[in-house]
Structure 1
Amino acid sequence: MTKSELIALLASRTTQLAQKDTELTVKTILDAMTTALANGQRIEIRGFGSFSLSTRSSRVGRNPRSGEQVLVPAKQVPHFKAGKELRERVDNAFLAQQNVN
């Protein structure tokens, strides 16, 4: 699902908000999450999952064209861990799909 598909789905479910208001709401939530992660904070959404930062240490990589060694610096990357409820719902949907086939 893309961001525009999410906005369209939420707008169709919520008659009180116009499409522009729904778009602003989704953008505001995603911006707040991005800012929190950029500031090193952890985000937890009960029943859905948590976002945190993982540190990747520096390493030596290779340039695929020339084959020469390149130093890849250490960096912080976002990490998502699904919550128990989300894992169970996805697993149950998968099992139900398997039983249909």
Structure 2
Amino acid sequence: MFVAMNRFHIVPGHEEAFENIWKGRESSLAEMPGFQSFHLLRGDTNTEEGYTLFASHTIWASKDDFVAWTKSENFRQAHKNAGDNRGIYLGPPKFEGFTAVVGA
């Protein structure tokens, strides 16, 4: 199993707009071999540093399946409008990938 996460720092006050972007997205993830699940997670607002933390979280059967997604036309289509809402982001997302070692 491979877990792919992108962490986003969102300008406080723009959380609902960010969530609506994701809720309104057309997704073809379910069509991709090895895709298992997706979640958008909302963390706390860090008032000292001025952002609200979000993470997109996908689970794949393997890292190879995830890499194939990132090279697919489905991926390009899903991210074609990624720059349209730059004002709500404090920088680009930070990717983190994990291979499962132990699981239930």
Question: What range is the shorter-chain TM-score in?
Answer: under 0.3
Q: Please identify which structure carries the higher strand content.
A: 2
Give TM-score, length-normalised by structure 1: 0.24
Higher relative contact order (CA 8 A, sep 6+): 2
Q: Please identify which structure carries the higher helix content.
A: 1
Q: Which has the greater radius of gyration?
A: 1
Give TM-score, length-normalised by structure 2: 0.24
